[in-house]
C-alpha cells in the first residue's frame, strides 16, 4: 500500500499536532486555501532576504529594495495562479509595509539573546546592517543557504524533508520569521523546527556547532519594527525525542486519526482557512477520510 503522503516535514508534523483534521484537508484532500496576507508578506520578506544574502557574496551592497519588489511581485503572481490571496488590504499596502521594515527603517531596536549569556539590547542603523554581519557556512564548495535537508527516520516509510534558510559559519543553522508580536526565549526553546533540522543536518554529516545551536532571526512587524536574534540550544536527547514524536505522528496518520481540534488557539476564523467548512466541528468530514 502506498503511503498517504510522500514526505513529512517539520511544518507538516507541527500542523498535524495542532489539528489533525486541518492537516488531512490540506495534505490529503488538498482542499485549496488562499494564502493569508500575513503569510504572503512573511514569504516575500523571506525570499528577499535570502536573495540579499546570496547577492552579497558577489556584490558588497545589493539593492534590497529591488529584491523586495521582485520577491513580492513573484509571490503575488504565483499565489494568484494557485488558490488566491485573502487580501485584508492590497498589494500596495503590503509593498509599503515590507519596504518600511527592510529598507526604510532606521535606528532599529535589536534584542539579542545569545544562548547561555545575558541578553543584549542595542540599536542598529538599518536591517542590512544586521544582515551584513552574517557569514554563511561554505559546505561542499557552496554557501549553505536554502539548503535542502533530508533525513530517514526508522519506522517512517517516507523521508523527512525541509529547507533550512541558511547555515552560518560555525555550523549554526538559522531561520528568518516575520511576526506581529515578539517571541520569547521560552517559545524559541519549545520550537520543533530547530530540533528536527539539527537532527537532519547531523544525519547528513554537516559539521554542527558542538552545543547544537540554532539561531532565529525574528522581524517584528509594527509601526516601529524591531528585530530579535534568539539562539536556542538542543541536547542530543532532544533530537531523539523529536524522532520519537515524528514516529508517533506517523503511526496516527497510518491509522487514519484525523479528528478536529477545536481547543487549539489556531481554531479560529482568523487563523484557520478551513473554518468555513469545519467551524471547529470537523464539518461533514469524518476522521478516516469520508467526505
**Contacting residues toward ligand SF4, per CB under 6 A:** 19, 21-22, 260-262, 264, 266-267, 272, 274-275, 278-280
The nearest distance, CB 180 to ligand SF4, in angstroms, is: 19
Pairing of strands 160-168, 145-151: antiparallel
The nearest distance, CB 280 to ligand SF4, in angstroms, is: 4
- Checking 268-277 for CB contacts under 8 A at 24+ apart, the result is 272/19, 272/22, 273/33, 273/34, 273/36, 273/86, 274/22, 274/25, 274/26, 274/31, 274/33, 277/25, 277/31
Specify the DSSP class assigned to residue 102. I
Residue 265 CB-density burial (10 A; 0-12 exposed, 13-18 middle, 19+ buried): exposed
Residue 175: which of 164, 185, 190 has the closest Cα?
164
Identity of the residue, 31 or 192, whose beta carbon is nearer to ligand SF4 in the bound complex: 31
The nearest distance, CB 259 to ligand SF4, in angstroms, is: 8
The nearest distance, CB 193 to ligand SF4, in angstroms, is: 20
Identity of the residue, 182 or 262, whose beta carbon is nearer to ligand SF4 in the bound complex: 262
Identity of the residue, 242 or 278, whose beta carbon is nearer to ligand SF4 in the bound complex: 278
Cell numbers standing for residue 57: 557574496
Identity of the residue, 248 or 262, whose beta carbon is nearer to ligand SF4 in the bound complex: 262
Neighbouring-strand partners of residue 176? 217
Identity of the residue, 54 or 86, whose beta carbon is nearer to ligand SF4 in the bound complex: 86
Identity of the residue, 208 or 272, whose beta carbon is nearer to ligand SF4 in the bound complex: 272
The answer to whether residues 150 and 159 touch, using CB atoms and an 8 Å cutoff, is yes
Q: How many helices (H) and strands (E) does the chain have?
A: 10, 11
The nearest distance, CB 12 to ligand SF4, in angstroms, is: 15
| Alpha helices by DSSP H, 82-179 | 91-99, 127-131
Cell numbers standing for residue 48: 528577499
The nearest distance, CB 288 to ligand SF4, in angstroms, is: 15
Amino acid at each position: 500500500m502506498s503511503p498517504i503522503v510522500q514526505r513529512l516535514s517539520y511544518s507538516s508534523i507541527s500542523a498535524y499536532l495542532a489539528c489533525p483534521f486541518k492537516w488531512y484537508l490540506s495534505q490529503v484532500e488538498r482542499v485549496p486555501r488562499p494564502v493569508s496576507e500575513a503569510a504572503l508578506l512573511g514569504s516575500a520578506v523571506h525570499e528577499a532576504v535570502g536573495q540579499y544574502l546570496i547577492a552579497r557574496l558577489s556584490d558588497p551592497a545589493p539593492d534590497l529594495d529591488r529584491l523586495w519588489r521582485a520577491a513580492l511581485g513573484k509571490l503575488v503572481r504565483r499565489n494568484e495562479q494557485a488558490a488566491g490571496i485573502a487580501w485584508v488590504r492590497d498589494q500596495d499596502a503590503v509593498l509599503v509595509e515590507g519596504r518600511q521594515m527592510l529598507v526604510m527603517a532606521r535606528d532599529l531596536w535589536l534584542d539579542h539573546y545569545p544562548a547561555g549569556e545575558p541578553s543584549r539590547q542595542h540599536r542598529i542603523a538599518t536591517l542590512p546592517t544586521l544582515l551584513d554581519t552574517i557569514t554563511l557556512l561554505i559546505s561542499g564548495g557552496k554557501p549553505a543557504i536554502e539548503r535542502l535537508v533530508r533525513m530517514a527516520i526508522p519506522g517512517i516509510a517516507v523521508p523527512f524533508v525541509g529547507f533550512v534558510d541558511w547555515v552560518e559559519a560555525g555550523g549554526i543553522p538559522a531561520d528568518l520569521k516575520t511576526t506581529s508580536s515578539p517571541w520569547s526565549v521560552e517559545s524559541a526553546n519549545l520550537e520543533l523546527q530547530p530540533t528536527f533540522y539539527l537532527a537532519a543536518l547531523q544525519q547528513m554529516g554537516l559539521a554542527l556547532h558542538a552545543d547544537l545551536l540554532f539561531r532565529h532571526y525574528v522581524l517584528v512587524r509594527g509601526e516601529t519594527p524591531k528585530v530579535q536574534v534568539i539562539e536556542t540550544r538542543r541536547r542530543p536527547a532532544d533530537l531523539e525525542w523529536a524522532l520519537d514524536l515524528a514516529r508517533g505522528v506517523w503511526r496516527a496518520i497510518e491509522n487514519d486519526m484525523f479528528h478536529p481540534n477545536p481547543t487549539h488557539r489556531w481554531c479560529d476564523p482568523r487563523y484557520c482557512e478551513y473554518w468555513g467548512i469545519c467551524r471547529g466541528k470537523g464539518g461533514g468530514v469524518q476522521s478516516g477520510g469520508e467526505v
